[in-house]
DNA sequence: TAGCTAGTTGCGAATGGTTCTCATTTGCAT
DNA sequence: ATGCAAATGAGAACCATTCGCAACTAGCTA
């Protein structure tokens, strides 16, 4: 995939500019993150990254994810009683719907809700910095 | 507080009907929960409960909270990197705004957002079972 | 290209909130 | 009062994530 390659180089650039070194291990993790279409957790990312570079340790996966999160390149999600899951922050903001039976994660975005949230915060004398909206659902039958 | 006493007895009734025994320790925890105006975590509840009954252990606090949660009497919240916090489920549904500087938790409710959530789930072919909406904010200056 | 050095790594130990185990106690129906 | 399943306290176990440290290395410098 051509896009993935570009994205990885872009990510590497962001890291280097932030004074973060691009190691063999990090390159592998970035590639895995860039081509992920889902919301993998640390150990799943570890499993995938090892196929590119078998020396990647789980510690490094965690450390790299934290670094990337701090650079604003990766987002961490803590869904209901589950381990943290990650995704690159390149797509525009969205929230998640979780299928409570299969665990599937579906993305959605509602500009109305986004706006209402800001209004609510403002009414209470606050400035909205970030938020978390998760819909836990069951597939509708019939 | 007269209301608190009634509420406690009501809670005890709910437990007994659910086949859950009302022990000395649970009575203490129920009282603490009923009079709590905030969103305490397990160890804070433990601290408070010990003032009523010094024998209450942290294990029992956790066990009782789980039992109460299963009875639908207590709600557990897992705010951003923090320990679980609890509140009685007697008040009508609401969501939370968290002051990221002080940690203060403010309750709010938006019927519009509630409705939009259900609509989004429906559009995606799902039935909304429960959700989590948290606004992480900073107090507006000036 | 070789050297330097601060950032990074793998490993294993530590952390910390929460749950579990188990011997002992206790609520409460009869 | 009695009997027994449910609940308790203490501490061990759990487990995702973070730390500590000695060895390694990315990437700048000469
Ligand atoms: Mn997503
Ligand atoms: Mn609340
Ligand atoms: Zn959103
Ligand atoms: Zn709500």
Domain spans of chain A? 2-88, 95-137
CATH class of B2-88: mainly alpha
Nearest ligand to the CA atom of A107: 1
- Neighbouring residues of A4: CB distance < 8 A, sequence distance ≥ 6: A31, A34, A35
CA distance B132 to B78: 10
Helix (H, G, I), strand (E, B) or coil at A88: strand
Which chain A residue has the Cα nearest residue B118?
A135
Q: Which of residues 14-33 of B touch strand C (CB under 7 A)?
A: 16, 21-24
How does pLDDT run across A96-117, given as a tens digit for each residue? 999 999 999 999 999 999 999 9
Mean of pLDDT values over A4-19: 77
Q: Which of A32, A95, A108, A122 is closest to B137 using CA atoms?
A: A122
| Nearest-CB residue to B138 (from A78, A99, A127) | A127
A94 Cα: distance to centroid of ligand 3 (angstroms): 5
| B90 has a pLDDT exceeding 90 | no
Q: Of chain A residues 15-74, which have a CB less than 8 A from chain B?
A: none
Q: State the pTM of this model.
A: 0.90
CA distance B40 to B37: 9
Which chain B residue has the Cα nearest residue A139?
B126
| A124 has a pLDDT exceeding 80 | yes
| B5 has a pLDDT exceeding 70 | no
Nearest ligand to the CA atom of B96: 2
Q: What's the angle, vertex CA A30, arms to CA A29 and CA A35, rounded to 5?
A: 100
CA distance A38 to A91: 13
Determine the straight-line distance between the first and last CA of chain A, rounded to whole angstroms.
38
Stretch among A12-16, A31-35, B124-128 having the lowest mean pLDDT: A12-16
Q: Do B110 and A121 touch (CB under 8 A)?
A: no
> What pLDDT is attached to residue B3?
64
Strand ranges inside chain A, DSSP E: 74-77, 85-88, 95-99, 105-108, 126-139
Which nucleotide is closest, CA of B57 to its C1'? D9
Q: Which of B59, B38, B58 is closest to B50 using CA atoms?
A: B58
pLDDT bucket at A51, cuts 50 / 70 / 90: very high
Pair of tokens at residue B69: 């949660």
CA distance A127 to B61: 35
Tell me the CATH architecture of domain B95-137: 2-Layer Sandwich (3.30)
The dihedral through the CA atoms of B56, B61, B62, B64 has a sign that is positive
């Amino acid at each position: 995939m051509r896009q993935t390659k570009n994205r990885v180089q872009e990510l590497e650039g962001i890291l280097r500019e932030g004074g973060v070194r691009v190691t063999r291990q990090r390159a592998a993790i970035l590639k895995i993150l860039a081509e992920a279409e889902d919301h993998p957790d640390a150990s799943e990312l570890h499993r995938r990254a090892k196929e590119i570079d078998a020396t990647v340790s789980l510690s490094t996966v965690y450390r790299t994810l934290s670094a990337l999160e701090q650079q604003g390149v990766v987002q961490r999600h803590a869904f209901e009683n589950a381990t943290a899951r990650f995704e690159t922050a390149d797509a525009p903001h969205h929230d998640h719907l979780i299928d409570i039976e299969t665990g599937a994660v579906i993305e959605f975005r509602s500009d109305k809700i986004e706006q209402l949230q800001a209004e609510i915060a403002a009414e209470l004398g606050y400035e909205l910095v970030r938020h978390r909206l998760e819909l836990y659902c069951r597939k509708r039958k019939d």
